[in-house]
Structure 1
Amino acid sequence: MYRKPDWEAALAAYLEPLRLVPFAWGTHDCCTFAGGAVLAMTGVDPMAEFRGRYSTELGAKRALRRIGRGTLVATLDAKFEAVAASLAQRGDVVMIDGLLAICWGAFAIAVGREDDREGLIRIDRHQWHDARAWRVAYGA
């Protein structure tokens, strides 16, 4: 799975309609959001096996045990090359305090809530605590 030449435009086009879509387990949560972003950039959905398989937090945990590698971190480690969060580049998958997001340079984009607005939120790099990252590879 490699980024397409037009990955930046494809990622921006993926993000735009999601700006105000609220969080929903199994359809618009951190796992499906990050998987959709990777799909937009590469044409491959790394989370396809999880789609439609859960609708609650408990269901998501069960799906990770049943379909994945037991945890979200272990599942991502099996799908991507892990890199230090400080080395995350635009388009890479990052996990911040257990929440999956997409690196956008000086910040990450994730599904969440800011004040009374739900949808995509920005998390500045200086707020990345307990962060991990995985590289979405460029073409060989």
Structure 2
Amino acid sequence: MAQPLFDHPRLPDWERRLNAWLLEPGREKFEYGVQDCALFGCGAVMAMTGVHPAPQFVGAYDDAASAAEALRELGKGTLLKTFDQYFKRKKPAFAHRGDLVMAHKAIGVCMGANGVFLAEEIGLARLPRSAFVAAWKV
């Protein structure tokens, strides 16, 4: 198995940084290529590590069709495979606070008993750990 492309440690105050990032005004607004579910996950990683894991995706698309095209051209074809390229996969049952998770084909951040996700239709949403289908170590 190939080494993940992103391998930066969390900053000592990562929990404070993650909480502050989640509470920033406008965090609940979904916009393709600016703040969608994938870039929401990347933003959480940047808050915790100080490094954006995939800056080439920012602004590279502006709707669902161009997002799919960006995943094919800049990633591994799907959201799941692209996140596998950047981060080390782990079993969802072992996701810790701050790890990235997937549920209902969306990327979110594990907050312990649940995950926070950014959904196009409703903005920020919490889903229970039982909904996680994949997880990645940050």
Q: Kindly indicate whether the alpha-carbon contact (under 8 Å) linking 1:25 and 1:57 is maintained by their aligned counterparts in 2.
A: yes
Amino acid at match of 1:15: L
**Distance in 2 between residues matched to 1:103 and 1:61, nearest whole Å:** 24
Q: CA offset at residue 15 of structure 1?
A: 0.3
Q: CA offset at residue 125 of structure 1?
A: 1.7
Normalization by structure 2: what TM-score? 0.88
**Distance in 2 between residues matched to 1:19 and 1:113, nearest whole Å:** 14
Structure 2 counterpart of 1:38? 45
Is 2:30 the partner of 1:23?
yes
Structure 2 counterpart of 1:68? 75
**Distance in 1 between residues matched to 2:77 and 2:27, nearest whole Å:** 31
* Superposed CA RMSD: 1.6
Is 2:58 the partner of 1:51?
yes
Candidates 97, 121, 137, aligned match of 2:125: 121
The runs of at least 4 aligned residues of structure 1 exceeding 4 Å deviation read none
**Distance in 1 between residues matched to 2:52 and 2:19, nearest whole Å:** 17
**Distance in 2 between residues matched to 1:106 and 1:50, nearest whole Å:** 29
Mark the runs of 5 or more structure 2 residues left unpaired by the alignment: 1-7
Q: Percent identity?
A: 40
Q: Kindly indicate whether the alpha-carbon contact (under 8 Å) linking 1:18 and 1:119 is maintained by their aligned counterparts in 2.
A: no
Normalization by structure 1: what TM-score? 0.87
Q: CA offset at residue 22 of structure 1?
A: 2.3
Q: CA offset at residue 112 of structure 1?
A: 2.4
Amino acid at match of 1:47: A
Mark the runs of 5 or more structure 1 residues left unpaired by the alignment: none
**Distance in 2 between residues matched to 1:17 and 1:119, nearest whole Å:** 14
Structure 1 residues 96 and 66: CA distance shift in structure 2, 3 A: same
Structure 1 residues 18 and 125: CA distance shift in structure 2, 3 A: farther
Number of residue pairs matched by the alignment: 131
Structure 1 counterpart of 2:115? 108
